[in-house]
């Protein structure tokens, strides 16, 4: 056993960055050989936080090494301290944190791993109180043009909480990774400063806390709890719309935390000034630190995300399949993930390999049957829909009534045909490819904010895809 652990340590030391190795792996100890389990070993973690982290991120690797080392299956138990409790990854219970918001993903609610390794009533450590999802980390966040600024800011804040960027305000459309990013910040802060009190709270839960404090006349406890935080991660602040008491409480909390140089990170679906029903005092404050946007990922990034998600499931996804999925699901990573899950489930249910024809079958409800649609067809459909002439789309007219449908038509050409930017430009009265790129970007960002435009595009897509 000792020989195995020695070799395991060496492998981790070679494979992991020094900081990760020193933080997570070096503190583990192998329990003395005499008490080693039959066909198994016990690893002792100094605390629940390290145990949880190792269990979620490294245990499967230790199991792989052990299988290779012993040429057979070995049971590994992770325990805290002197081996009081022995929850292996398989045995660990998964319980929702108290009041934790059930944040849906395409595949169902995000799993919240609870305090698996402590006896009821035991003192919870900072990690367990944080409500962080251990699986949302910087390591598994794919970076691209759409989020590189937001990620860079997030990394800065994670390494220097309460520093220059306070608050950090992250905004962008639904399912683009805002929640993932703020959990990554929280996880990193706690990993580097286990003594810090970090709390993830969805704006709806903050609202519930305010209501409860009001009903139970327990505002003192409520205030004390929130003001004791070192790092507050507030998700989806647009939910404060019209909730005046919550806004007022949050205004005072915000001032108190910022004054005490405690870090605040906020996410929202729009830019602060565009949030409906939000007190101006808050709007101005949200802009005090740094405001960064996450945009819908471009094609290559969507492909990279799909491959990474598949890899996490132990599957190597072909480029052809990844491009097919990414080409048809453009604006929301959550939907992209859902589509991938559908393909994987379809493949395992039918016992067939994951290939392009299988992906097309599995996703036909999501993306419609893929039929050939020409640029001229798109132009005619768009012109009919907006009640303008097809010739207007080729013309130089720049009035909004013409320019917006023209941009939408260009966007649809990218969406449902495989024509390149220059080809699309040519088909629109010989325009330059940069005009098409600009149109696609404009529509991508407008459709997040403008429900009417988003609705138009949905209808047009339905019509075109048949
Ligand atoms: N760049 C990325 N790399 C890897 N996974 C991503 C990326 N962006 C988003 N995801 C994944 O997409 C899913 C949705 O992301 P998340 O919940 O963070 O979105 P959100 O912006 O908070 O959405 P909402 O506004 O609806 O709350 C998550 O499973 C997340 O891991």
How does pLDDT run across 434-452, given as a tens digit for each residue?
999 999 999 988 887 788 8
CA of 335 to the centre of ligand 1 (A): 10
Q: Is the minimum distance from the CB of 177 to ligand 1 under 6 angstroms?
A: yes
At residue 32 the predicted structure's pLDDT band, cuts being 50, 70 and 90, is low
* 321 CB-near residues (< 8 Å, 6+ apart): 343, 354, 355, 356, 359
Positive or negative torsion for Cα 120, 121, 125, 128 = positive
Q: Please indicate if the annotation marks 435 as binding a ligand.
A: no
Going by CA atoms, what residue is nearest to atom 15 of ligand 1? 177
CA of 188 to the centre of ligand 1 (A): 17
Q: Please indicate if the annotation marks 175 as binding a ligand.
A: yes
Q: What is the pLDDT of residues 292-306, one digit of tens each?
A: 999 889 888 999 999
Long-range contacts of 419-422 (CB under 8 A, 24+ apart): 419/375
* 203 CB-near residues (< 8 Å, 6+ apart): 234, 235, 236, 237, 238, 239, 240, 246
CA–CA dist 398, 409 (Å, integer): 15
- The number of angstroms, rounded, from the C-alpha of 21 to the middle of its chain's C-alpha atoms is 25
Q: Please indicate if the annotation marks 178 as binding a ligand.
A: yes
Q: Is the minimum distance from the CB of 305 to ligand 1 under 6 angstroms?
A: yes
Q: Is the minimum distance from the CB of 379 to ligand 1 under 6 angstroms?
A: no
Going by CA atoms, what residue is nearest to atom 7 of ligand 1? 177
**CA nearest neighbour of 118 among 110, 109, 126:** 126
Q: What is the pLDDT of residues 311-365, one digit of tens each?
A: 988 899 999 999 999 988 877 898 899 999 999 999 988 999 999 999 999 998 7
Tell which wins on pLDDT, 443 or 109.
443
CA–CA dist 34, 134 (Å, integer): 33
Q: What angle do CA 410, 274, 444 make, to 5 degrees?
A: 15
The answer, yes or no, to whether ipTM is higher than 0.85 is yes
């Amino acid at each position: 056993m000792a020989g195995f652990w020695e070799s395991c340590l060496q492998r981790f030391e070679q494979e992991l960055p020094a900081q990760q190795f020193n933080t997570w792996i070096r503190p583990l100890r192998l329990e003395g050989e005499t008490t080693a389990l039959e066909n198994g070993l016990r690893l002792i973690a100094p605390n629940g936080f390290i145990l949880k982290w190792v269990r979620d991120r490294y245990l499967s690797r230790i199991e792989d090494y052990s299988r290779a080392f012993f040429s057979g299956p070995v049971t590994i138990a992770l325990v805290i301290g002197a081996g009081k409790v022995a929850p292996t990854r398989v045995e660990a219970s998964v319980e929702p944190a108290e009041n934790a918001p059930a944040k849906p993903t395409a595949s169902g609610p995000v799993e919240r791993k609870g305090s698996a390794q402590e006896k009821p009533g035991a003192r919870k450590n900072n990690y367990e109180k944080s409500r962080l999802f251990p699986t949302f980390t910087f390591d598994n966040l794919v970076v691209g043009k759409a989020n590189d600024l937001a990620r860079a800011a997030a990394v800065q804040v994670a390494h220097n909480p309460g520093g220059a960027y306070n608050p950090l305000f992250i905004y962008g459309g639904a399912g683009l990774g805002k929640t993932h990013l703020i959990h990554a910040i929280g996880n990193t802060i706690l990993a580097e400063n286990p003594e810090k009190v970090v709390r993830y709270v969805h704006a709806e839960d903050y609202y519930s806390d305010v209501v409860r404090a009001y009903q139970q006349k327990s505002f003192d406890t409520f205030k004390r709890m929130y003001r004791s935080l070192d790092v507050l991660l507030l998700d989806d602040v647009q939910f404060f719309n019209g909730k005046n008491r919550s806004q007022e409480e949050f205004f005072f909390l915000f001032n108190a935390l910022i004054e005490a140089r405690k870090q605040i990170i906020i996410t929202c679906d729009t830019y602060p000034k565009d949030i409906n029903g939000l007190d101006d005092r808050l709007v101005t404050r949200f802009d005090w630190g740094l405001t960064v946007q996450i945009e819908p990922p471009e094609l290559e990034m969507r492909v990279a995300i799909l491959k990474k998600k598949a890899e996490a499931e132990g599957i190597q996804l072909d480029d052809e399949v990844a491009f097919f999925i990414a080409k048809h699901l453009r604006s929301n990573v959550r939907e992209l993930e859902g589509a991938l899950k559908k393909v994987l489930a379809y493949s395992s249910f039918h016992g067939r390999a994951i290939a392009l024809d299988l992906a097309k079958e599995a996703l036909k409800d999501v993306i419609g049957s893929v039929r050939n649609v020409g640029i001229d067809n798109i132009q005619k459909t768009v012109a009919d829909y907006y009640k303008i002439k097809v010739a207007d789309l080729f013309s130089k007219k720049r009035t909004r009534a013409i320019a917006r449908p023209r941009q939408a038509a260009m966007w649809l050409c990218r969406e449902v045909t495989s024509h390149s930017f220059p080809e699309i430009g040519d088909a629109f009265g010989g325009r330059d490819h940069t005009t098409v790129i600009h149109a696609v970007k404009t529509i991508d960002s407008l459709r997040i904010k403008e429900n009417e435009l988003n609705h138009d595009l949905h209808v047009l897509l339905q019509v075109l895809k048949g």
